[in-house]
């Protein structure tokens, strides 16, 4: 037998999480009441369960102070609202991860800070694009198309890619971009310096702002005012140009900006 003390501590440590997450009724009730208070009739028709089951669940939630009854309506308490907000976050985090699981699982995520990983729910509407064996450059072409329609670009660039740089210079020279912020490692910076053209057109361009980090980077993140995109390295250390994750909604942009902020202060 597991010793009683250990068991008690374990039970205590995970008690609430277990209580909420393992009962589908309790979790469903919290979610049903998340937006607005509801009465029993409304809950019954929404959850399609008998009154007794629903009332039982509500009683349980009332007893741990997550739900309260006001007149005939049930509503979340402040604690209930805080908890449910975080439960929604958990559900959306899970959803965002499983939706693009192949993308996340394939790559080295060590450069993405923990707090940013925990807010991966912001990418729940992002989609990843895969290149195919018949067209290896789908991801790259998609990327070029995206940056061609941006006015302001922030890029964390972990690779020295002439292809990418040439496109950027093109956009700068054709007045397509007003501002290009590049976050690069010292190593990449040195390589750029060795190429006369790149040095002149990128490093000496007043529209380009360069920020150099000491560490080598393992993340290729681009953020404009309209889109964000992410490509990563395989776990064996090679850059993967075949898969790109693209998000165009406000949340995805926020996620990308949060990462950039982290790297800006590095």
Partner 1 sequence: MHNHSEINEEIRFLAQSEIRLKILSELYEQPNNISGLVKKTQITYSSVSSNVNKLEENEFIRKVEKKYYVNPMAEIYFKALMDFKKSVDIINDYGAFWNKHNITQLSIDSMKNITALKDSKLIETTPLDIYKTHNTTKNQLIESKDVKAIFPYLHPEYPQLIETILQNGGTVELIVPRTIFKAIISPIDDKLKKDAINGERLIVYTVTDDLDLYLTVCDEKMSLGLFKNDGSFDQNRILISDDKKSHEWANELFKHVKHRVIK
User: 226 and 108 in contact (C-beta within 8 Å)?
Assistant: no
The one segment of 8-16, 49-57, 128-136, 170-178 that binds partner 1 by CB under 8 A: 8-16
User: 216 and 209 in contact (C-beta within 8 Å)?
Assistant: no
From 73, 81, 189, 239, residue interacting with partner 1 (rule: CB under 8 A): 81
65 makes contact with partner 1 (CB under 8 A): yes
Instruction: Look up tokens 């007794």; give the residue.
Output: 52
36 makes contact with partner 1 (CB under 8 A): no
How far is the C-alpha of 249 from the C-alpha of 104, rounded, in Å?
19
89 makes contact with partner 1 (CB under 8 A): yes
From 52, 63, 71, 114, residue interacting with partner 1 (rule: CB under 8 A): 114
Nearest one of 129, 92, 133 to 251, comparing CA atoms? 92
How far is the C-alpha of 141 from the C-alpha of 144, rounded, in Å?
5
Sequence-ordered alpha helix ranges (H) in 100-185: 101-106, 114-117, 138-148, 162-173
128 makes contact with partner 1 (CB under 8 A): no
Nearer to partner 1, 94 or 163 (CB): 94
Beta pairing class for 179-185 and 208-213? parallel
CB 48 to partner 1: min, Å? 13
Interacting residues with partner 1 (CB under 8 A): 1-3, 5-6, 10-11, 13-14, 16-18, 20-22, 24, 27-28, 31, 65, 77-79, 81-83, 85-95, 97, 101, 104-105, 109, 114, 117-120, 124, 235
């Amino acid at each position: 037998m597991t010793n009683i003390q250990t068991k008690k501590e374990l039970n205590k440590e995970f008690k609430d999480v277990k209580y909420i997450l393992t009962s589908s009724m309790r979790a469903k009730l919290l979610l049903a009441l998340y937006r607005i208070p509801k009465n029993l009739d409304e809950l019954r028709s929404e959850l399609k369960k008998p009154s007794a089951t629903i009332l039982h669940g509500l009683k349980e939630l009332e007893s741990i102070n997550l739900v309260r009854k006001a007149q005939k309506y049930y509503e979340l308490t402040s604690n209930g609202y805080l908890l449910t907000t975080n439960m929604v976050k958990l559900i959306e985090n899970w959803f965002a991860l499983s939706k693009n699981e192949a993308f996340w699982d394939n790559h080295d995520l060590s450069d993405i800070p923990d707090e940013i990983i925990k807010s991966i729910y912001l990418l729940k509407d992002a989609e990843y694009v895969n290149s195919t064996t018949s067209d290896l450059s789908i991801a790259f072409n998609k990327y070029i198309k995206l940056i061609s329609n941006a006015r302001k670009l922030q890029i964390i660039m972990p690779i020295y890619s002439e292809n990418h740089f040439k496109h950027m210079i093109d956009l700068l020279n054709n007045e397509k971009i007003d501002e290009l912020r590049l976050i690069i490692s010292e190593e990449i910076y040195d390589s750029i310096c060795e190429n006369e053209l790149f040095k002149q057109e990128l490093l000496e361009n007043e529209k380009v702002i360069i920020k150099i980090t000491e560490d080598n980077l393992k993340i290729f993140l681009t953020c404009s005012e309209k889109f964000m995109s992410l490509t990563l390295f395989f776990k064996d250390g090679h850059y993967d140009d075949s898969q790109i994750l693209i998000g165009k909604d406000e949340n995805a942009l926020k996620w990308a900006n949060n990462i950039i902020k982290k790297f800006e202060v590095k």
